[in-house]
Structure 1
Amino acid sequence: MNIVVNEELKAYIDPLTPEEHEALERSILTEGCRDALVLWGDVLVDGHNRYGICQKHGLPFQTVQNTRFKTIEDVHLWMIDQHLGRRSISDFLRGVLALRKKDIVDERRARALAQTASPDDNDPPFDTDAPQASPADRAATLPPPAPLGSREAIARAARLSSNQVVMIEKIQKQAAPELVAAVKAGVISINTAAAVASLPADEQVSAANAGKDELRQAAKRVRESRRRPREEAVESAGPDTAESPATDGAVLQLQQRVAELTAENAALQRQIAELQSRLLAHAGG
């Protein structure tokens, strides 16, 4: 059997840690490869670690074809959903995968709108280089994924809170690679990583290289620097304000929420502009 390992697909989901890989290898050596490898034509979609271990030790394995894949995006979405359904992955990776799924769904919607606007478009309906299913197989296509148009929808898909999704987005956009590596490895929490991501890149790298304790101290300094102006604002407001801390806390929370919503609105406006430019480019092409 000719099995093709696509390096992009192999790296699409974060690899196992050395400890996890060793545990899987021990399990396969003891019990055999119980789960079938999933193929798309000759391309290996799911089971890269199992395949490598079986090849290394000359062990037998089973394969199964998924004929419902039409495009590489179908493969990506299937891989994402498979991993989101597993309990063993970290909250950070769960959020990253849910955001990745949102990007794919948004791209598909943009293309669908472009095709609606250009009914004479003669582009091929699926990748010409991809394995092609028969007409009977294509009749049983994968159902369209549910839209992820809000942070709440992304959070539900990832089984996280909306606040965690916000922090993961911030880490993806602002964190240095060394900081991302630390949160992926579980060295620090999502909350700590999001705080440190507010620092300049060189300070992030320095803290990450120094280890967990320095990362936590850096996050503490960031939080204190944010808290100080709020405390000074309360003090400058006079004694009447000081007598009602609960009210002050509510006002500060509302102000923070307004700032977050303003930032979200700006990000959505940028996304809409990007989608519109893609649609125009597609229609013009």
Structure 2
Amino acid sequence: MNIIVNEELKAYIDPLTPEEYTSLERSILAEGCRDALVLWGEVLVDGHNRYAICQAHGLPFQTIQNTLFKSMEDVHLWMIDQHLGRRSVSDFQRGVLALRKREIIAERRARTQAPAPATADADDTSSPPWDDTGSAPELATVPPLASRDDIAKAARLSSNQVVLIEKIRNQATPEVVAALKSGAISLNAAAAVASLPAQEQVAAAVGGADELKQAAKRVREAKRPPRAVSADATDQSEGTAHDAIPGDDVPALKKRIAQLEKENDALRKQVLNLLEKSSRSA
């Protein structure tokens, strides 16, 4: 059987971590490849890791054709839905997948609303690779993800998490995203760091988890409004200042200053007398 590994499809979903890959390999070596690989003609759609492990160890595997695919968009939507339902996928990954799904559906709807071309393109490759007639059945209508709540529901997240993920996806550098995926920082911290200029993001990521957390803290503190002083505290401070220095009694204030200066002179004379006595004694 000829199986084609499309690198774009293989990279469409985040790869397994080394630990996850090792765990899957142990499972297949012990129990065999229980789940069939999903193909689109000869193109491998689902099961890239299982296929690689079986090839490396000479193990048998089963395949199944998905006859609903009519285009690469259909493949992408199917892959997204498969991974959105898996528990091993992180919150960030689910959010990114749901946002991709929204974009695919929006682009598809925009095309269907555009005027149809007069003639079909002779080079059109949207048909399934095993069927040159393009007669594969239509996919079921995919509902749009029109609102942030729709995206959150599809990804099993909160609306606030979707906001954070969208910000990270649009603004974060690859280094910050990598730190988030590795678990070095939280979703909230990554979104805060993503608001910094790219160079500062990279510098924080290079500094490690602690530096990223400190950068996130600085961003939050910079956005925090200054603490308001209560009216009672203001009145009290003004009253204290007024009592300490009565601005409406200037003559009394001058008199007090003169008295203090006189006392200082007397103290200086006492110090000088003490110094002279100690020098004579020596």
| Pairwise TM-score range, normalised by the shorter structure | 0.7 to 0.9
> Residues 60-111 of structure 1, C-alpha deviation per residue, up to 9 Å, x if partnerless?
0000000110000000000000000111100000000000000100110110
Quote the offset at 1:118 in angstroms.
Answer: 3.7
Quote the offset at 1:125 in angstroms.
Answer: 11
2:231 is the counterpart of 1:239: yes
Quote the offset at 1:146 in angstroms.
Answer: 1.1
Larger Rg: 2
TM-score (norm 2): 0.78
Structure 1 SS opposite 2:4: coil
> Residues 40-79 of structure 1, C-alpha deviation per residue, up to 9 Å, x if partnerless?
0000000000000000000000000001100000000000
Structure 1 SS opposite 2:19: helix
One-letter code aligned to 2:78? W
One-letter code aligned to 1:86? R
User: How many positions carry a matched residue from both structures?
Assistant: 234
Quote the offset at 1:179 in angstroms.
Answer: 0.3
CA distance in structure 2 between the aligned counterparts of 1:15 and 1:215, rounded to whole angstroms: 24
Q: How does 1:268-283 map to 2 (within 5 A)?
A: none
2:62 is the counterpart of 1:67: no
Structure 2 SS opposite 1:138: coil
2:118 is the counterpart of 1:131: no
Structure 1 SS opposite 2:226: helix
2:176 is the counterpart of 1:179: yes
> Residues 202-233 of structure 1, C-alpha deviation per residue, up to 9 Å, x if partnerless?
11111111111111111111111111xx234x
CA distance in structure 2 between the aligned counterparts of 1:105 and 1:221, rounded to whole angstroms: 38
Structure 2 SS opposite 1:231: coil
CA distance in structure 1 between the aligned counterparts of 2:187 and 2:53, rounded to whole angstroms: 32
Task: Say if 1:36 and 1:61, in contact at 8 Å, map to a contact too.
Answer: yes
Q: How does 1:116-155 map to 2 (within 5 A)?
A: 117-118=115-116, 120=118, 122-123=120-121, 127-128=125-126, 130-133=128-131, 138-139=136-137, 141-155=138-152
| 1:83 aligned partner | 83
| 2:269 aligned partner | none
One-letter code aligned to 1:74? D
Gaps of 5+ in 2: 235-282
CA distance in structure 1 between the aligned counterparts of 2:81 and 2:18, rounded to whole angstroms: 24
- Tell me which of the two structures has the higher relative contact order, counting C-alpha pairs closer than 8 angstroms and 6 or more residues apart: 1
2:198 is the counterpart of 1:206: no
One-letter code aligned to 2:226? E
Structure 2 SS opposite 1:105: helix
Task: Say if 2:98 and 2:155, in contact at 8 Å, map to a contact too.
Answer: yes
| 2:104 aligned partner | 104
Shift of the 128–96 alpha-carbon distance from structure 1 to 2, 3 Å rule, reads closer
CA distance in structure 1 between the aligned counterparts of 2:122 and 2:68, rounded to whole angstroms: 18
One-letter code aligned to 2:136? R
Percentage of identical aligned residues: 68
One-letter code aligned to 1:50? R
Task: Say if 1:67 and 1:137, in contact at 8 Å, map to a contact too.
Answer: no
Task: Say if 1:71 and 1:126, in contact at 8 Å, map to a contact too.
Answer: no
Structure 1 SS opposite 2:45: strand
Task: Say if 1:68 and 1:137, in contact at 8 Å, map to a contact too.
Answer: no
Runs of 4 or more off by more than 6 Å in structure 1? 134-137
Structure 2 SS opposite 1:64: strand
> Residues 8-54 of structure 1, C-alpha deviation per residue, up to 9 Å, x if partnerless?
00000000000000000000000000000000000000000000000
> Residues 187-209 of structure 1, C-alpha deviation per residue, up to 9 Å, x if partnerless?
21111100011111111111111
| 1:33 aligned partner | 33
Task: Say if 1:5 and 1:43, in contact at 8 Å, map to a contact too.
Answer: yes
> Residues 224-278 of structure 1, C-alpha deviation per residue, up to 9 Å, x if partnerless?
1111xx234x33xx528x9xxxxxxxxxxxxxxxxxxxxxxxxxxxxxxxxxxxx
| 2:9 aligned partner | 9
Structure 1 SS opposite 2:136: helix
2:45 is the counterpart of 1:45: yes
Shift of the 205–119 alpha-carbon distance from structure 1 to 2, 3 Å rule, reads closer
One-letter code aligned to 2:19? E
2:58 is the counterpart of 1:58: yes
